[in-house]
Amino acid sequence: MRYTYRLRPGAAAERALVAEWNRCRFLWNEAVYQQQTGKRPTYHRLSKMLTAARGQFTWLRDGSRVAQQETLRTYGLALKHSFTVKDRNRPAFKKRRVSLPTLEYTLRGFSIHDGRLHLPKGVSIPVVWSRDLPSPPTSVRVYQDSLGHWYASFVTRRDAEPAPEVDGAIGIDWGVSTTATATDPTHDLPYAGHRKRCAAELAKAQRKMSRRRRPRGQAPSNGYMDAKRQAARLRKKAARQNTHTGRTWAKAIADNHQLIAVEDFKPKFLARSRMARKAADAAIGSVKRTLIASGTRAGRTVVLVPPAYTTMTCSKCRERQARLDLAERTFRCANCGHTADRDRNAAWTILATAERNRAGADDVSHSLSPPVRVVVRVLSEPGIPGLGGR
Ligand SMILES: [Zn+2]
């Protein structure tokens, strides 16, 4: 797990970090150049070259060996992924004005004492400890965001914290206007997007940007850059608020329910269309990950239910109905007369499907009473393939 904290480097420490980044960026670009000229820069070959280069150049020796080696390791991984992972491009040059500083340190390269993060070559930075680290970290990524803020993201272990047994069971259906519809309406999670106040302030900043925009080819004005920074700050603020809401929501669900049945939503089916839809899909993806993580950590049974037919199946009699028009918000069963909100009915169907499969073992494939055939995956431990860390 990653635990991220704000860093408050002084002027000297910030200069040192930027200098370190420039050296690492040089190495990265050198590796990209080698690849482009057909030299096959494997991590092994690159680190040999690094050792030779450090012997030769003082300016390279002035930087941390760990940070430089980790840059090459990251490069090696990015190159490998560009061959093995679909839609991944070859690593590209990192340009000075566009790329943001990122430095990686393993245990040999950092330590924490007196509340400060100590990096090689005498760099020491105060950390804002907004919460405690659950265990000693094994590595850290020091990076700067587009607003100029510095962060330290520690990789650390967080053990399961089984919560007291409870009886409740809940079903969750994902949606665009309401991110999560639960069987229990008090656990619904409305889609926040940018909060009202944030949205108004953001619109103001964007209007200012368009007023101050200069024609192409001219350097942007200070007023334009100010407004741009302001807009970025507001977007970041909204994102942080949404993360917080998602965590609080997930915790409340994990605290009160032993069985959590979740629609196994796969964003890529929907995300091809509009921007708003994309944002809503991204929100679902992140909230779903949070819910699965806090559910499994609390020792709850988290069941991922395939979304097929959940909106069409009656949660009372399990009879499948005709496909609902997307604008139709009410589900009506022609068989038993059950009427419910479309999403609420789907949430109940998801819960019912999970409960029917509850007795099963880890990977159960069940043929339920026809015509619904469902495959349920019961999650018993963290680390779900395809959902795991970033
Ligand atoms: Zn029915």
Per residue in 294-314, pLDDT (tens digit) is 998 888 999 999 888 888 899
Distance 165 CA to ligand 1 centre (A): 32
Distance 260 CA to ligand 1 centre (A): 23
Distance 341 CA to ligand 1 centre (A): 13
Distance 327 CA to ligand 1 centre (A): 21
Q: Cis omega (within 30 of 0) on the bond before 371?
A: yes
- Alpha-carbon gap, residue 347 to 167, rounded angstroms: 18
Distance 313 CA to ligand 1 centre (A): 8
Distance 367 CA to ligand 1 centre (A): 19
Asked if residue 126 has pLDDT above 80, the reply is yes
pLDDT at 361: 37
What would the two tokens of residue 212 be?
């101050």
* Degrees, nearest 5: CA angle 21-24-26: 110
Distance 344 CA to ligand 1 centre (A): 14
Distance 314 CA to ligand 1 centre (A): 5
- Predicted TM-score of the model (pTM): 0.71
Specify the amino acid at residue 4.
Answer: T
β-pairing, 259-263 vs 169-174, is parallel
Under 8 Å between Cβ of 313 and 372: yes
Distance 353 CA to ligand 1 centre (A): 15
Distance 261 CA to ligand 1 centre (A): 20
Asked if residue 372 has pLDDT above 80, the reply is no
Distance 320 CA to ligand 1 centre (A): 8
Under 8 Å between Cβ of 140 and 17: no
Per residue in 188-201, pLDDT (tens digit) is 998 877 677 788 88
Distance 331 CA to ligand 1 centre (A): 10
Distance 318 CA to ligand 1 centre (A): 6
pLDDT-derived band at 272, boundaries 50, 70, 90 = low
